[in-house]
Amino acid sequence: RTLSVLFTLSSFVLFFCEPSKTHGISFRIQISVKELLDTDVLLKLLFRLPVNYPSALPDISVNSDQLTRAQCMDVKEKLLEQAKKHLSEPMVHDLILWVQQHLKDVIKQPAAVCNEKTTLSKGKEDGIWMLLLHLDHMRAKAKYVKTVEKWASDLRLTGRLMFMGKIILILLQGDRSSIKEYLILQKTSKVDVDSSGKKCKEKMMRVLCETEVQSQHKRFQMFEVKEYSALEELQKEFETAGLTTLFSEFVPSLLK
């Protein structure tokens, strides 16, 4: 059972769990790392120290709402590699310092192949992907639009930011890694303002579709911001890009 003990140490929070005579000590550490394009990434690390630690390596689990599962696996593997360098000496504090300093480098590397399913789909990871997002509103529209344009340009993504009445859609095409990085930015950056005018993160975004671009889909040559006066105009944009099915499956329901 978890003890009601909470320690705040520098930039991370430590939760202790009750030690076991057979399995040693387990504890969770939450670290806020400002490494990913100036945004905060919250890492949740679980350390299980065996009874013969530090002569034996700890078991480490890594989770984060801002990172993909593959990126979390990469962080775990790198931490275990570092742990081997500190075998037979206390290492947890050194591992925490290491991940704070190197997180950005680790998650920008190609995703690790961690199982058979990932291996079989590796070719798809390297292809061109498409992402369709729905935004509920934009209070600071001019600033929001400028930010989205900058992200798309920096990540070499093409597509459309589309306005039709109250409907706001972002359609992106590009490398899978760039699509994932865009999603992190969209979820973690203070891109809009709240009702009181304070900067805030996007909390009402929905991912409508994330899929590999197919042969019948037209590739956008650039990223553009467009406004449509009628649903038929928006539908034509999708049809021209070979995305009729995508439109019919997701867009009409947004009007209800």
Work out whether strand 25-36 and strand 158-164 pair parallel, antiparallel, or are unpaired.
Answer: unpaired
CA-CA distance, 241 to 172, in Å (whole number)?
12
Higher pLDDT, 102 or 171: 171
pLDDT score of 21: 56
Query: pLDDT tens digits, residue range 28-79?
Result: 888 888 655 456 788 889 888 888 888 888 889 888 877 777 788 888 888 9
Query: pLDDT tens digits, residue range 179-208?
Result: 999 999 998 999 999 889 999 998 889 999
Is the pLDDT assigned to residue 19 strictly greater than 70?
no
Average pLDDT, the chain: 81
Q: Tokens 């590699």 map to which residue? A: 81
Q: What is the CATH number of domain 128-255?
A: 3.30.70.100
CB 34 within 8 A of CB 40: yes
Q: Does the N-terminal peptide bond of residue 110 adopt cis geometry, omega within 30 degrees of 0?
A: no
Which of the residue ranges 16-20, 146-150, 244-248, 252-256 would you say has the lowest mean pLDDT?
A: 16-20
Would you list the domain boundaries of the chain? 2-116, 128-255
* CA triple 204-206-210, angle to 5 deg: 155
CA-CA distance, 113 to 120, in Å (whole number)?
10
Work out whether strand 158-164 and strand 223-228 pair parallel, antiparallel, or are unpaired.
Answer: parallel
Q: What is the CATH number of domain 2-116?
A: 3.10.110.10
Whether the model pTM is above 0.75: no
Closest CA to 100 of 12, 9, 8, 188: 12
Closest CA to 174 of 146, 147, 202, 210: 210
Is there a shared CATH topology between the 2-116 domain and the 128-255 domain? no
CB 186 within 8 A of CB 132: no
